[in-house]
Copies of this chain bind each other. A is one copy, B any other.
Amino acid sequence: MRNTFIDNISLEETKPLFFNRIEKYSKKEIISTEKSLGRITSSSVFANVSSLNFNASAMDGILVKSKDTEMASETNPIILKKEKDFIYVNTGNPIKTKFDAVIMIEEVVEMQNGDVRIIKSAYPYQHIRNVGEDIIKNDMILPSFHEIRPEDIGALFAGGIFEIEVIKKPKVAIIPTGSEIVEDYKNLKVGDIIDSNSRMFEAMITVSGGEPHRYSPIRDEKELLKKNILDAVKKNDVVIINAGSSAGTHDYTKSLIEELGEVIIHGIAIKPGKPTILGFIKGKPVIGIPGYPVSAYFVYQQFVKSLLEKMLCKEDEKENIVKARLSKRVYSSLKHKEFIRMTLGYVGGELVATPLDRGAGASMSLVKADGILVISKNNEGHDIGEEVEIELLKSLSTIKKSIVVIGSNDPIMDRISDSIKLSLSHVGSFGGVLALKKNETTIAPIHILDSKSGDYNIDVLNKYFPSGDVVLIKGIKREQGLIIPKGNPKN
């Protein structure tokens, strides 16, 4: 039983087919305001009390009757008598009824006998905060479907809201499948794969505002998987099934979703992530996600994250796009929209982007990536030196601290990368030499033997950098060498 047919529908066509059927999530709960950070209001919130609930001084100074001060000027200073004409107030103190204005302490000249002299009149209600200045009872503090931030919590407390109704977190089941996938990492056998994707999903769902419910890995047995899918659909709002989403003999995900509900899409023209399944069982979205870590990551980002955001009426996170110059040619097939993980670094003030390993299995490339280069379906790729747009995964300030290293794979760079962030690209020694000549790297590790002299790296240095504008740092091992530009580093 092999499903030989997989679609190849574009991402742009796929999204409305799935997302148009997703509705606002409407389950609610009441929680205490102090625990509401990051939660989403279910309806508008109106103030229970006014803040302030009294007139207060807005300054440190003296409380006066504005009438007494009307004639004050530099040429006509006025003396005010302590207690009778003024009293000292601090910021926040209530206004005593016979007074109606505050003069800042900086504008008051204090005299020996305790009286004060002023040279400027005060207008009525000068520097006085009024009842309800901040919040008026019954004013709206927050609208519905608003994600609560620290400043919102401040305003809620100020408005006397100590409990708040919020949208429940949608429950998302994670069902890992595959007889080779194991949860118990203590007795790992050859052929076992630790279930790492589910752990990544748990954290991603938490970040997206959902409540993850992870199942233990399910062996490749159709009835067992069916039982677990039914259980997950019953107890959760969304179900993700990890792997078994392709067309292999043990890929039951598609046929089970079809049997229990409806498959909308099987196969999307994205790379990584092609064998994705989108469907519904009993009205609940069920997503079959491919097993490779990188595919799992991108399919989550494209579908589960957007799904939870749509359910919770959350905005798309702002994409942060920068322009960078490619240090290496990047090919792509015309068949897919491709997401390529890139490292970034500044060389001579210019941002340089280098593709990381593209194997979909390489979860380390997700850890190392600084950004994503998206190549659309009808594009063959980009040439070296071309300017491309990169969607940032790390902040530019982090990337600014990173040093670009292009050349041979020298283990010393791994050691250095613990204390200094490096943007590493392994293109071989000569690739490094060329990158340095073109001002596309700050360090080029090289291991080049000169067959005549029997020495390493020096001949190539003399040949390619005859003007002597670079320095060779020799490693402890005789073959190791790093070339760097002379003088101040350029970034």
Interface residues of A (CB under 8 A from B): 2, 4, 33-34, 37, 44, 49, 51-54, 58, 60, 88, 90-94, 105-106, 129, 133-135, 139-144, 149-158, 160, 162, 178, 180, 185, 188, 190-197, 199-204, 206-207, 243, 246-251, 291, 293, 296-297, 315-318, 320, 359, 361-364, 366-367, 392, 394-398, 414, 417-419, 421
Contact = CB atoms under 8 A, between A and B. Distances in A.
B363 A154 contact: yes
17 contacts: A34-B199, A52-B193, A53-B188, A134-B359, A134-B363, A139-B364, A139-B414, A140-B417, A144-B419, A149-B203, A150-B202, A151-B363, A153-B203, A156-B196, A160-B194, A316-B395, A318-B395
Contacts of A414: 139-140
Contacts of A248: 60, 90-91, 105
B417 A143 contact: yes
A372 to B, nearest CB: 12
Nearest to A6: B106
3 closest A-B pairs by CB: A154-B200, A90-B248, A150-B203
Given A248-B60, A363-B135, A291 B185 contact: no
Contacts of A185: 157, 160, 162
Given A154-B200, A248-B60, A367-B152, A421 B143 contact: yes
B251 A90 contact: yes
A155 B363 contact: yes
Contact of A151 (B158, B180, B200): B200
Contact of A2 (B105, B155, B197): B105
A318 B317 contact: no
A49 B182 CA distance: 14
A246 B91 contact: yes
A341 to B, nearest CB: 10
A297 to B, nearest CB: 6
A207 B367 CA distance: 22
A203 to B, nearest CB: 4
A2 B62 CA distance: 13
Contact of A160 (B106, B188, B296): B188
Given A34-B202, A202-B34, A196 B139 contact: no
A361 B190 contact: no
A318 B315 contact: no
A58 B361 contact: yes
B92 A291 contact: yes
